Amino acid sequence: MKREEALNLMEENIKQTNLRKHCLAVEAVMAELADYFEKEQNKWRLAGLLHDIDYEDTADEPEKHSLIGAEILEEMGLEDKIVKAVRAHNGIHELPRESLMAKALYAADPLTGLIVASALIHPDKKLASLDTEFILNRYSDNSFAKGADREVIASCKEMDLELEEFIKISLRAMQTISDDLGL
């Protein structure tokens, strides 16, 4: 599947502007991580862009989130590795994250939220003004952005990435699409 097709699919299934922006942020982070690990960027992008494709439909049934999304992607013929990464990114299912892609998607999902929340409390509300240290300080404050699960973000160690490096990579990725994110 090409990015344009995936973008259209995401937009058909996700109507909330902020959720669309979240998917774009996760896509950017996944692309940057693919480059970092010398993996196939397009596949990693697709996993990031489409990971929440069922989110609005499963909002009242979080136990179904990611399972239905994975089914949709499987029916569309996406590669098994992408389908498995999408299915496993919802920790409620406690599915094994066997591939590097699945581990990356799991950890990147909440980190993008922490980065956005960090930008929103910064005086100019711009990603360009943030640095890794600023986000690390927000990460350490458990009362800040409570929805950004620190334990999940810290699972970056499963990719042999230190937290500081993971945040640096992710912030850089999101800064490249700051206009799309409105930050």
Residue-wise DSSP of 88-118 = HTSGGG-----SHHHHHHHHHHHHHHHHHHH
Q: Radius of gyration over alpha carbons of the chain, in Å? A: 15
The torsion region of residue 145 among left (phi > 0), alpha (psi -120 to 50) and beta comes to left
Contact 144, 138 (CB under 8 A): yes
Structural tokens at position 68:
């239905």
pLDDT at 165: 98
Query: How far is it, in rounded angstroms, from Cα 48 to Cα 27?
Result: 4
Provide the residue range defining the domain that includes 63. Answer: 3-181
Taken in order 150, 151, 152, 155, the sign of the CA dihedral is positive
pLDDT at 148: 97
User: Could you give the number of structural domains in the chain?
Assistant: 1
Buried/exposed 5-40: b ≥16 CB within 10 Å, e otherwise: ebbebbeebbeeeebbbbbbbbbbbbbbbbebeebe
Contact 139, 107 (CB under 8 A): no
Query: How far is it, in rounded angstroms, from Cα 141 to Cα 143?
Result: 5
Mean pLDDT by 10 residues, the chain (183 residues): 97 98 98 98 98 97 97 97 98 96 98 98 96 97 96 98 98 98 97
CATH number at residue 19: 1.10.3210
E strands along 13-153, which residues? none
Its pTM stands at 0.97
pLDDT at 137: 97
Query: How far is it, in rounded angstroms, from Cα 148 to Cα 49?
Result: 18
